Structure 1
Amino acid sequence: MNRLFFQPHQAGLSKVEAAEHTLRSINPDVSFESHNHNITTMDNFTHFMERISYGGLEEGKPVDLILSCVDNYEARMAINTACNELGQIWMESGVSENAVSGHIQLIIPGETACFACAPPLVVAANIDEKTLKREGVCAASLPTTMGVVAGLLVQNVLKFLLKFGTVSYYLGYNAMQDFFPTMTMKPNTQCSDRYCRSQQEEYKKKEAECPKVEAVQEEEEEVVHEDNQWGIELVSEVTDAELQAASGAVPDLPEGITVAYTIPVEDTESGETVGETEQSLEDLMAQMRKL
């Protein structure tokens, strides 16, 4: 946030105040509501939950979407817990400590994996996150990487709210290789968050109640030309017997996985082989020239 919003004349202001002043100067028509507190504490978490439930533009209505731009695991888990309990859709984002990679993630409670469904190895191994950070050492930071990730997040928000294009459930960014991995993660049925498990059950019930639409397979019409002056026909040059002979054994694979091709079995019995000889390569080439 410091690299994107902070201006020199805002020295002494909190991050929240500085961000509000900068954003208000960019677009004064936007309504801002700032709260400078730690949402991981009990009192502030309760207030955070209340603002999610009743902080929409319409009085008494919940917010449409939450954007997470925090920089630590505890704050992300606090947002995750609140959204799971309230069934609130939110988007998570972050930049790695090496400052050259980041990600955005859409989280729909019950339908997609929440932030606790696939915890980092450090957390899964019950290692305190704070022990990995050296005292007084700040993580690397590049405004360009943060700008790219922020742009991806906002673009995804526009697609989600305005309902156009394809919304990314997870989109990564690796600046070193210009690599953008994307995926969809299903929720973990053994998630440590009980509200996540509860939301999964609710989602299953809704899916069961929805009428199933059977997919109608459209038959492709055979292309028939009205005239064929030259009598051109398309035929297969490989017979089924030849194809079967050229195919190897199909391995035992899990359901839903097929092979694109198989390795033909080598036929060692048929065919002629060249016997060994003591003649040099030059002698053999000379014999070939005489043919």
Structure 2
Amino acid sequence: MALKRMGIVEDYEKIRTLTVAVVGVGGVGSVTAEMLTRCGIGKLLLFDYDKVELANMNRLFFQPHQAGLSKVEAAANTLQFINPDVTFESHNYNITTVENFGHFMERIKSGSLTGGPVDLVLSCVDNYEARMAINRACNELGQKWFESGVSENAVSGHIQFLIPGETACFDCAPPLVVASNINESTLKRDGVCAASLPTTMGVVAGLLVQNTLKFLLKFGEVANYLGYNAMVDFFPTMTVRPNPQCEDIWCQKQQREYRAKKAAEPEPEKEEVKEEGVVHEDNEWDICLVAETTPEEAAGSVSAPMTNLAKGITVAYERLAPVAEEAGSNTVDTEGISLDDLMAQMKAL
């Protein structure tokens, strides 16, 4: 509510009427669901088919006594205790199977508090097959969604906002390993499992929820693609446009509809800016204004500790360097000389 009092959000209470689907309640998904619960979201739909294991105790969310429970059941129990005002709907199945995909689409289409489509889908899965299933469902339904992920070495991650027809879908620019027809299972080395850090997963989940709130409550600017490299604390951003030759027919259909919608919009009226000539008043005495410091002086006016600023950082004001007195300057000591003597010296020049 402080966001509303400070003028950041116009109507924060609106969040109680909104529904978000979280697919994958693992490292990123569990933290995402908890953050949304604490923010007061109206309803959460949770999808996953894994069980809680002791190896999941670095996930910031699960507890040892929950080992053996399905992740969605454990999540719903914990989250209900945190905020009983939130409505939870959990589904313990694999969304990529034929028998479950139809039900998954139906819940996205009519699983909100009002019986209509959910307001947003958040993908927090860790495999390509599940991402493609979410992509297919959202393209067919015209559903906006966020894709997120953390690398296998646990030191980088990303989030991506996908708007069917307007931005690239997940199939428009597939990952290299998939484009090269390499089986995803071959990427796993024998005896080596993917690394995980609760810090990296927490950072990615925070970026995901922050942009979710910005989209749902309409404040700030929603990131189209935001990466995170923990090794150098680098956050690259970019905009990914749709591929006209995308293999997903529903993506192509959404692209055609988006182009038709943009073509039907009236062009914004351009305001004519009249250039008014500068009016100069009479300057009988040829008075002109000059700067007190030259550009060279101003360029070297910042104190030494502030000269190596990082990109995007600037000083609030410039501090002029102290002017040292030059030795042997041509000054005249007038102390003790009368005005008449000074006038006589001037006439003698």
TM over 0.5: yes
TM-score (norm 1): 0.75
Relative to structure 1, is the Cα distance of residues 132 and 163 closer, same or farther in structure 2, using a 3 angstrom cutoff?
A: same
TM-score (norm 2): 0.63
Establish whether residue 37 from structure 1 lines up as the match of residue 90 from structure 2. no
Specify the alignment match of 2:38 in structure 1: none
Specify the alignment match of 1:231 in structure 2: 288
Aligned residue type for 1:141: S
| Per-residue Cα deviation, 1:126-166 (whole angstroms, up to 9, x for no partner) | 11111111345320100001001101111101110111111
Match of 1:171 among 222, 226, 235: 226
| Per-residue Cα deviation, 1:244-276 (whole angstroms, up to 9, x for no partner) | xxxxxxxxxxxxxxxxxxxxxxxxxxxxxxxxx
Specify the alignment match of 2:163 in structure 1: 108
Specify the alignment match of 2:145 in structure 1: 90
Specify the alignment match of 2:102 in structure 1: 46
Residues 156, 167 of structure 1: 8 Å contact kept: yes
Establish whether residue 134 from structure 1 lines up as the match of residue 186 from structure 2. no
Relative to structure 1, is the Cα distance of residues 219 and 9 closer, same or farther in structure 2, using a 3 angstrom cutoff?
A: farther
SS at match of 2:202: helix
Specify the alignment match of 1:24 in structure 2: 80
Matches of 2:211 and 2:249 in 1, distance apart?
28
Matches of 2:207 and 2:278 in 1, distance apart?
44
Where does 1:260-279 land on structure 2 (aligned, <5 Å)? Answer: none
Aligned residue type for 2:211: N
Residues 159, 167 of structure 1: 8 Å contact kept: yes
Relative to structure 1, is the Cα distance of residues 223 and 206 closer, same or farther in structure 2, using a 3 angstrom cutoff?
A: same
Specify the alignment match of 2:342 in structure 1: none
Matches of 1:48 and 1:220 in 2, distance apart?
59
Residues 105, 171 of structure 1: 8 Å contact kept: yes
Matches of 1:99 and 1:221 in 2, distance apart?
60
Specify the alignment match of 2:249 in structure 1: 194
SS at match of 1:34: strand
Structure 2 portions without partners, runs of 5+: 1-25, 27-55, 292-349
Relative to structure 1, is the Cα distance of residues 26 and 214 closer, same or farther in structure 2, using a 3 angstrom cutoff?
A: same
Specify the alignment match of 2:311 in structure 1: none
Shift of 1:112: 0.3
Specify the alignment match of 2:175 in structure 1: 120
Relative to structure 1, is the Cα distance of residues 183 and 223 closer, same or farther in structure 2, using a 3 angstrom cutoff?
A: farther
Establish whether residue 55 from structure 1 lines up as the match of residue 108 from structure 2. no
Relative to structure 1, is the Cα distance of residues 141 and 214 closer, same or farther in structure 2, using a 3 angstrom cutoff?
A: same
RMSD of equivalent CA atoms: 2.1
Specify the alignment match of 2:330 in structure 1: none
Match of 1:72 among 112, 123, 127: 127
Specify the alignment match of 2:33 in structure 1: none
Specify the alignment match of 1:206 in structure 2: 261
Matches of 2:282 and 2:71 in 1, distance apart?
76
Q: Identity across aligned pairs (percent)?
A: 74
Relative to structure 1, is the Cα distance of residues 208 and 35 closer, same or farther in structure 2, using a 3 angstrom cutoff?
A: same
Aligned residue type for 1:58: T
Matches of 1:69 and 1:99 in 2, distance apart?
15
Residues 5, 18 of structure 1: 8 Å contact kept: no
| Per-residue Cα deviation, 1:107-131 (whole angstroms, up to 9, x for no partner) | 0000000011110111111111111
SS at match of 1:33: strand
Stretches of 4+ aligned residues off by more than 4 angstroms: 217-229
Matches of 1:35 and 1:147 in 2, distance apart?
24
Establish whether residue 185 from structure 1 lines up as the match of residue 261 from structure 2. no
Matches of 2:191 and 2:114 in 1, distance apart?
44
Aligned residue type for 1:126: N
Matches of 1:72 and 1:179 in 2, distance apart?
24
Specify the alignment match of 1:266 in structure 2: none
Specify the alignment match of 1:262 in structure 2: none
SS at match of 2:239: coil
Matches of 1:172 and 1:110 in 2, distance apart?
22
Corresponding pairs, count: 233
Structure 1 portions without partners, runs of 5+: 235-291
Shift of 1:207: 0.6
